[in-house]
């Protein structure tokens, strides 16, 4: 059955057909036909943000927290260009978004018309695919394809540019049931021979290590990963994007790898004889100097994107496909082989490192330590029996959140990985809260990052999204200051932000939100508890130790077993006691 | 090493931009490029010559495969392909030397397609090597202008490109 309706109405109907019940956006001239059609669509909630970048980050946070694609709608020209950072961010982290931008009428495209910008050209390198729709009749098919492409294979953002005459034009609407994309056929099932080969290596390894990333979250493979880890007693490290893919209170969890990873994690990677990468991309922030990364190991790499395999690190057993299918197949194969865990001595070696080189920070003497704030957020949420979703900004705040927040399940950690976008966390928390109304959503923020997007307090307030922003207010662009302290002789060029400008409590109050300040260590619990209990958005201004650094730290380009705050120049093997060493090496 | 890539793409607006932009974004230089529709009007074939070592080439090929509009990529084996380029030379040819230029043209089985008072325009097709050799010889007379297409190629025999 077809129905003759406008392009704008077709767009809305297509969203309904895709099961979209919430979207984020900001209107303007050329999208008014679409906004007009949305006016009657009561089953789609529209969250009006205060800046288009916020709309994309919110849609992104929604997608990360729910697993469903995030949808955004903005106008042409400046509306469209304001989405660029958000789209690049989603692209780097493989987050499924469908972004609609308005465009000037097809008759004036290419004439530098008012608010014209070539957004498909601009976003070509930062979208998985994009479309400029030239005829209303194409809309249903294009939207169907866009959702399909965004959510399948390696997910990512897809942009649809809709000229105003296309929205106003007419279309015989019928939503297609299938897509016809001859050039797009992701591989899901792993190659049987490769799976067999990988299983043999896993069964034989004495010092294996499971290295899991965002791909495990995206494919919903956390259960399978846990099964594999427990079956073979494999230690597990999760990347920043993979946080939540494995319960961090599990004895096999050995922390985050890389630049600010724990020493015991990086030592384990340096010593492993079999690195099993699942849904990871050997990012430079993880590997440090590539030649020294897991240099004693054979490498198995499971990824749905063939282009990731061998991109940075040569691989012995590549397996292209969906992480969930493949890890399940590995478990099945290992069971068939009656493979038994052989990692007892290896785990004891890692535990020995863990005991000797734990993550740590100095005790408090009158000033709040930012790391403790992170731990108290966990503890208080726990005491309140609330499910916690932690979002982060970028900088030291993000690294402390990564190090000290104990994440237990997938899709409860929302953080900008590949692009490292300051100002992501807060709008993302709004999106996460919109998708997960019952969760306690906390943005662990920096004073710098939050100021990039603080106008979205209005969005949170007006839409009744009770997110909590906990600012680790150090009065600095802290991570920049840290690099300046370590590598630029403490010359703090343009990294100082007065701790009391703005007054974050008053700022929160100006938007009708709850604001509270913690100045002394003893204020922290009360401030957090009050904010978490408050029925609405809240800001906690924690005045933390200003010149605290994130340690340990691998110097940029350095090898990951040589950490500042580690033992300089000391080979890992010298850090193990001899008896254990013999057992592991044997 | 030089590779001849035969890339089958959907014949849609913007597809060539997506392909070439990917090369420049990932730091590759395209030595030559030729595009045209195939036996199937919904598909175009892009023939590209790129110089790259095997590992980076594999990476760019995989990235290229990820473009939704790209259907097939074939790194043609030089021993198993037929390839041609087309060149137009406008060569100085005053009456007293004209016959020499015509002789060169004949040797290369090229064609004179335009005659001026002091110049000849020659159309030549062939492999890069042949055309380079011809260009070398013609240089002695003075090449006033030259236009050259990119390489096009197909796999030999019944093999698909
Ligand atoms: C949009 C953007 N601009 C600049 C940077 C570079 N940068 C990385 S961390 C950082 C400092 C962040 O300061 P703040 O939000 O206060 O966090 P802190 O490190 O103090 O916890 C800067 C400027 C960035 N990541 N993103
Ligand atoms: Mg700061």
**Residue A317, beta-bridge partner list:** A300
Average pLDDT for A381-394: 98
From CA A75, how far away is CA A30, in angstroms rounded? 6
Residue bearing the bigger pLDDT, A571 or A565 = A565
Mutational test site, ligand 1, from A449, A541, A548, max ligand atoms within 8 Å of CB:
A449
Residue with tokens 């920043």: A240
Average pLDDT for A360-385: 96
CA of A398 to the centre of ligand 1 (A): 10
In this prediction, residue A567 carries a pLDDT of: 45
Q: In sequence order, what DSSP letters do the residues of A223-259 get, joined into one string?
A: HHHHHHHHHHT--EEE-TTTTTSS-TTSTTB----ST
Residues of chain A above pLDDT 90, percent: 93
Number of helices (H), then strands (E), belonging to chain B: the values are 4, 9
Ligand lying nearest the CA atom of residue A422: 1
Mutate to test the interface with B, among A142, A183, A318 (most CBs of B within 10 A): A183
CA of B161 to the centre of ligand 2 (A): 57
Counting beta carbons within 10 angstroms of the beta carbon of residue A387, is it exposed (0 to 12), middle (13 to 18) or buried (19 or more)?
middle
From CA A441, how far away is CA A428, in angstroms rounded? 10
Residue with tokens 């400008």: A501
The B residues from 27 to 66 touching A (CB cutoff 8 Å) are 55, 58-59, 62-63, 65-66
Q: Residue A166's closest CA among A119, A131, A134, A118?
A: A134
Residues ≥6 apart with Cβ < 8 Å to A549 = A396, A482, A485, A486
Pocket of ligand 1 (CB under 6 A): A 393-397, 420-423, 446-449, 472, 474, 476-480
In this prediction, residue A398 carries a pLDDT of: 98
What mean pLDDT is reported for chain A? Answer: 95
From CA A149, how far away is CA A157, in angstroms rounded? 9
> B25 and chain A: CB distance < 8 Å anywhere?
yes
Average pLDDT for A207-226: 98
Average pLDDT for A226-255: 98
> A121 and chain B: CB distance < 8 Å anywhere?
yes
CA geometry: angle at A126 spanning A121 and A131, to 5°?
Answer: 50
* CB nearest B68 (choices: A132, A149, A306): A149
- Scored b (16 or more CB within 10 A) or e, B120-158 reads bbbebebebebbeebeebbeebeeeeeeeebbbbbeeee
Residues of chain B with pLDDT under 70: none
From CA A64, how far away is CA A412, in angstroms rounded? 8
In this prediction, residue A569 carries a pLDDT of: 41
Read off the pLDDT of residues A24-44 as tens digits, 9 standing for 90 and up.
Answer: 999 999 999 999 999 999 999
Where are the strands (E) in A264-359, listed by range? Answer: 274-278, 298-303, 317-320
Residues in chain B: 161
In this predicted complex, what is the ipTM?
Answer: 0.92
From CA A390, how far away is CA A405, in angstroms rounded? 8
Residue with tokens 């969930």: A324
Ligand lying nearest the CA atom of residue A418: 1
In this prediction, residue B55 carries a pLDDT of: 86
> A320 and chain B: CB distance < 8 Å anywhere?
no
SS3 A466: coil
Average pLDDT for A98-110: 98
Q: What's the pLDDT band for A564 if we cut at 50, 70, 90?
A: confident
Write down the pTM of the prediction. 0.95
Counting beta carbons within 10 angstroms of the beta carbon of residue A360, is it exposed (0 to 12), middle (13 to 18) or buried (19 or more)?
exposed
Q: What's the pLDDT band for A582 if we cut at 50, 70, 90?
A: low
Residue A586 has pLDDT above 50, yes or no: no
Residue bearing the bigger pLDDT, A52 or A574 = A52
Residues ≥6 apart with Cβ < 8 Å to A521 = A364, A366, A367, A368, A369, A372
Q: What's the pLDDT band for A572 if we cut at 50, 70, 90?
A: very low
> B26 and chain A: CB distance < 8 Å anywhere?
no
Alpha helices in A499-566 (DSSP H): 504-510, 524-533
From CA A497, how far away is CA A478, in angstroms rounded? 9
From CA A424, how far away is CA A428, in angstroms rounded? 6
Residues ≥6 apart with Cβ < 8 Å to B136 = none
Gap between the terminal Cα atoms of chain A: 72
- Scored b (16 or more CB within 10 A) or e, B40-67 reads eeebbbbbbbbebeeeebbbbbbbbbbb
From CA B153, how far away is CA B48, in angstroms rounded? 9
Residue A219 has pLDDT above 70, yes or no: yes
Residue A59 has pLDDT above 80, yes or no: yes
Mutate to test the interface with A, among B62, B63, B70, B71 (most CBs of A within 10 A): B62
Alpha helices in A456-562 (DSSP H): 457-462, 478-487, 504-510, 524-533
Q: What's the pLDDT band for A448 if we cut at 50, 70, 90?
A: very high
In this prediction, residue A555 carries a pLDDT of: 87
Q: What's the pLDDT band for A568 if we cut at 50, 70, 90?
A: very low
Read off the pLDDT of residues B31-72 as tens digits, 9 standing for 90 and up.
Answer: 999 999 999 999 999 999 999 998 889 999 999 999 999 999
- Contact residues on chain B for A120, CB-CB shorter than 8 A: 14
Ligand lying nearest the CA atom of residue A452: 1
Q: Residue A279's closest CA among A232, A314, A231, A240?
A: A240
Average pLDDT for A288-310: 97
């Amino acid at each position: 059955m077809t129905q003759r309706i406008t392009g704008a109405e077709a767009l809305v109907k297509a969203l309904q057909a895709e099961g979209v019940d919430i979207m984020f956006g900001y209107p303007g001239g050329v999208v008014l036909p679409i906004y007009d059609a949305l006016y009657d669509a009561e089953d789609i909630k529209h969250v009006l943000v205060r800046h288009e970048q916020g709309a994309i980050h919110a849609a992104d946070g929604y997608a990360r927290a729910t697993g469903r694609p995030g949808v955004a709608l903005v106008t042409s020209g400046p509306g469209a260009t304001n989405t660029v950072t958000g789209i690049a961010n989603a692209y780097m982290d493989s987050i499924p978004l469908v972004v609609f931008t308005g465009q000037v009428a097809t008759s004036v495209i290419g004439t530098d018309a008012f608010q014209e910008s070539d957004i498909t050209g601009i976003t070509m390198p930062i979208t998985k695919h994009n479309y400029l729709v030239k005829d209303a009749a194409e809309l249903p098919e294009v939207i169907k394809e866009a959702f399909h492409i965004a959510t399948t294979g390696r997910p990512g953002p897809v942009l649809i540019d809709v000229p105003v005459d296309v929205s106003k034009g007419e279309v015989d609407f019928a939503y297609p049931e299938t897509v016809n994309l001859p050039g797009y056929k992701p591989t899901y099932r792993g190659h049987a021979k490769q799976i067999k080969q990988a299983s043999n290596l896993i069964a034989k390894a004495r010092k294996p290590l499971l290295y899991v990333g965002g791909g495990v979250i995206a494919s919903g493979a956390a259960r399978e990963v846990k099964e594999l880890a427990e079956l073979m007693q494999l230690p597990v490290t999760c990347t920043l994007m993979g946080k939540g893919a494995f319960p961090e209170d599990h004895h096999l969890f050995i922390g985050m790898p890389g630049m600010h990873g724990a020493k015991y994690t990086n030592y384990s990677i340096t010593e492993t004889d079999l690195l099993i990468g699942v849904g990871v991309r050997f990012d430079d922030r993880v590997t440090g100097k590539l030649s020294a990364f897991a240099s004693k190991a054979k490498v198995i790499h499971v990824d749905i994107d063939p282009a990731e395999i061998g991109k940075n690190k040569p691989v012995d057993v590549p397996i292209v496909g969906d992480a969930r299918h493949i890890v399940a197949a590995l478990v099945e194969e290992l069971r068939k082989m009656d493979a038994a865990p052989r990692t007892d001595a290896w785990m004891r070696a890692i535990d020995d490192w863990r005991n000797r080189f734990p993550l740590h920070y100095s005790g408090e003497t009158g000033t709040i330590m930012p790391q403790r704030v992170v731990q108290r957020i966990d503890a208080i949420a726990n005491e309140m029996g609330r499910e916690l979703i932690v979002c982060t900004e970028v900088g030291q705040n993000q690294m402390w959140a990564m190090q000290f927040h104990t994440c237990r399940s997938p899709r409860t950690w929302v953080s900008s990985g590949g692009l490292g976008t300051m100002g992501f966390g807060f709008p993302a928390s709004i999106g996460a809260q919109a998708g997960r109304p019952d969760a306690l959503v906390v943005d662990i923020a920096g004073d710098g990052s939050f100021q990039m997007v603080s106008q979205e307090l209005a969005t949170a307030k007006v839409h009744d999204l009770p997110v909590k922003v906990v600012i680790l207010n150090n009065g600095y662009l802290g991570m920049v200051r840290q690099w300046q302290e370590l590598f630029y002789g403490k010359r703090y060029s343009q990294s100082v932000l007065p701790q009391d400008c703005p007054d974050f409590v008053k700022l929160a109050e100006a938007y009708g939100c709850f604001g509270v300040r913690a100045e002394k260590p003893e204020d922290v619990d009360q401030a957090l508890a009050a904010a978490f209990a408050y029925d609405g958005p809240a800001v906690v201004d924690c005045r933390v130790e200003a010149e605290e650094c994130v340690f340990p730290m691998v110097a940029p380009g350095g090898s990951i077993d040589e950490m500042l705050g580690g033992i300089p120049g000391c080979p890992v093997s010298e850090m193990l006691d001899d008896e254990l060493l013999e057992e592991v090496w044997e | 090493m030089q590779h001849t890539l035969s890339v089958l793409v959907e014949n849609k607006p913007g597809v060539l931009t997506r392909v070439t932009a990917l090369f420049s974004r990932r730091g590759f230089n395209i030595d030559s490029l030729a595009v045209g529709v195939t036996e199937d009007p919904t598909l175009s074939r892009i023939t590209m010559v790129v110089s790259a070592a095997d590992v980076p080439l594999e990476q760019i090929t995989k990235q290229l495969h990820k473009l939704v509009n790209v259907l097939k990529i074939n790194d043609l084996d030089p021993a198993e392909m037929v390839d041609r380029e087309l060149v137009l030379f406008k060569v100085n040819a005053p009456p007293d030397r004209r016959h020499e230029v015509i002789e060169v043209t004949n040797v290369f089985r090229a064609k004179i397609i335009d005659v001026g008072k002091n110049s000849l325009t020659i159309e030549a097709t062939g492999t890069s090597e042949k055309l380079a050799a011809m260009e070398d010889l013609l240089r002695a007379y003075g090449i006033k202008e030259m236009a050259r297409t990119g390489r096009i190629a197909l796999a030999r025999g019944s093999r698909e490109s």
